Amino acid sequence: MLRKFRKRHFLWPVLILVLELAAYAQNKSDDKTYVSGKLKSDLNTETSGIAASSIHKNIFYIHNDSGDYGRFFAITPDGTLKGVFNYLPKGTVGYGVRDCEDIAVGPGPDSTKSYVYVGDIGDNGEAYPFINIYRIPEPDMAAMADSTVDDKKSTLYLKYPNGPKDAETLMIDPVEKLFYIVTKRHKSVEIYTAPLLFNNNDTVTLTKRGDLHFGGLQPFKWIVSGDISKDGTQVLLKSYGRIYYWKRKGSEPVWQTLQRKPLQPAYEQERLGEAIGFSETGKSYYTVSEGRRQPIFHYPVPK
């Protein structure tokens, strides 16, 4: 375990350097066709997930990676901050989160509401016996763009059936009412599911649904984000260097959809892109990188 951890820490600076050089080279010649805006708040330093609101037009929720508090943010496609939402008490040590890596929006226990789900699922050392998903009702937009609102959350504790994993991808299948978690590392990544509906403080063992193998070198092929469209018909996964897209066939399980060969649409190389999410309509999707004042990219879905 220690050797693996040291190896990952050795690879990390190399990965960042290569990606930053690639992003710099591409941005020098980029005509900005796909750029919808740029993050405007210095609160957004390590964006690791993005998800479209189901009740507010042109609102997206984002959050920071490890080291931030138990909170998420609402932004517009041009990167304007519209609200800050705390879901854990400020008195909690570290605001009670470890490594939040993805965010999703979907249905929940009240059929008249929509919910935000924050996945505290990162585990670089693959050591945590449990990971957490926080469920918060979609908030009202604040009267002031940068105002902070405290929201109540419910917590789901999850454990893997075969030992701890590192993951950065949390998705919601609205058809079968399932969470999907795709692990990040190793030669192949693994697909797990859990029921979407839960009671506060429930503990659930994830169900393994299969493995996925992507070509390329580690760590560039690590899977760092994903999303399922709000109608459940499309799926996206993202590595550091590529985007993978699937069209679901009928009501087949998403894990079966992922076994087919994906399309690989165009991708503007980002500094450390760890966030991808469909628009509310499912006709396009957005990506954004870690780092301050990063561009927000907007792409049409493949035809």
Question: What CATH number has the domain bearing residue 97?
Answer: 2.120.10
| Pick from 180, 202, 197: nearest CA to 108 | 197
H helix intervals, the chain: 2-29, 254-257
Q: φ, ψ for residue 237 (rounded to 5)?
A: -130, 155
pLDDT for the residue numbered 174: 97
Domain count of the chain?
A: 1
pLDDT for the residue numbered 1: 43
3-state secondary structure 54-79: CCCCCCEEEEECCCCCCEEEEECCCC
DSSP state of 95: G
Q: Strand 35-38's sheet: what is its strand order?
A: 35-38, 295-300, 284-289, 273-278
Rounded distance between C-alpha atoms, residue 207 and residue 209, angstroms: 6
| Pick from 221, 252, 214: nearest CA to 234 | 252
Q: 3, exposed or middle or buried, with CB in 10 Å at 0-12, 13-18, 19+?
A: exposed
pLDDT for the residue numbered 26: 52
C-alpha count within 13 angstroms, C-beta hemisphere, residue 29 = 5
Per-residue model confidence as pLDDT tens digits over 266-281: 899 998 999 999 999 9
Instruction: Please tell me which residue, 219 or 120, carries the higher pLDDT value.
Output: 120
Instruction: Please tell me which residue, 180 or 33, carries the higher pLDDT value.
Output: 180
Instruction: Please tell me which residue, 14 or 265, carries the higher pLDDT value.
Output: 265
pLDDT at 241 over 50: yes
Q: Strand 178-183's sheet: what is its strand order?
A: 167-173, 178-183, 188-195, 207-213
Residues ≥6 apart with Cβ < 8 Å to 185: 8, 166, 218, 219, 222
- Region class of 13: left (phi > 0), else alpha (psi between -120 and 50), else beta: alpha
How many helices (DSSP H) and strands (DSSP E) are in the chain? 2, 21
Residue 69's pLDDT band, with cuts at 50, 70 and 90, is confident
Of the chain, the percentage scoring pLDDT greater than 90 comes to: 77
pLDDT for the residue numbered 32: 67
Amino acid at 181: I
Per-residue model confidence as pLDDT tens digits over 88-135: 877 665 667 999 999 999 999 999 999 999 999 999 999 999 999 999
pLDDT at 200 over 80: yes
Is residue 120 classed as helix, strand or coil in its secondary structure?
strand
Domain with 140 in it: 2-300
Residue 66, CA distances (Å) to 53, 73, 157, 240, 290 in order = 23, 15, 18, 18, 11
Rounded distance between C-alpha atoms, residue 160 and residue 192, angstroms: 8
Per-residue model confidence as pLDDT tens digits over 76-92: 999 999 999 999 877 66
Mean pLDDT over the full length of the chain: 89
Q: Is the N-terminal amide bond of 139 cis, ω within 30° of 0?
A: no
Q: Please tell me the pTM assigned to this model.
A: 0.91
pLDDT for the residue numbered 43: 94
Residue range 15-42: mean pLDDT, rounded: 68
Residue range 32-45: mean pLDDT, rounded: 93
| Pick from 257, 284, 239: nearest CA to 176 | 257
